[in-house]
């Protein structure tokens, strides 16, 4: 089992109910684990989070849970 952390940038397109829209880039972070139950197979789970501030003094917060399975050859 491997544990990892992530830091970086996230980009999002924000659109409100009044037709206003904007593209924002913000700091993003997360953490996860990866398991290798058998050779060439990886199973991972992680959580990623970011927050965007809009021009209308609103905050948009996004948190994402990710589950994945990978095969390497």
pLDDT tops 90 at residue 28 = yes
pLDDT digits (tens, 9 = 90+) for 29-60: 999 999 999 999 999 999 999 998 776 667 88
Detail the DSSP E strand segments found in 1-73: 2-15, 21-35, 41-53, 59-71
CA proximity to 30, closest of 13, 50, 52, 60? 50
Burial bucket for residue 43 (CB in 10 Å: 0-12, 13-18, 19+) = middle
Q: What is the mean pLDDT of residues 20-31?
A: 90
Q: What is the pLDDT of residue 37?
A: 94
Question: In angstroms, what CA-CA distances link 35 with 6, 19, 39, 63, 71?
Answer: 17, 44, 11, 22, 12
What is the extent of the structural domain holding 36? 2-14+23-71
Q: How far apart are CA 9 and CA 3, in angstroms?
A: 20
Q: What's the structural domain count of the chain?
A: 1
Is pLDDT above 90 for 6?
yes
Q: Is the pTM of this model over 0.85?
A: no
């Amino acid at each position: 089992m491997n544990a990892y952390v992530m830091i970086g940038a996230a980009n999002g397109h924000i659109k409100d109910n009044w037709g206003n829209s904007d593209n924002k880039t913000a700091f993003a972070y997360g953490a996860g684990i990866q398991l290798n139950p058998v050779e060439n197979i990886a199973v991972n789970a992680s959580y990623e989070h970011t927050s965007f501030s809009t021009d209308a003094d609103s905050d948009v917060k996004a948190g994402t849970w990710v589950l994945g399975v990978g095969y390497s050859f």
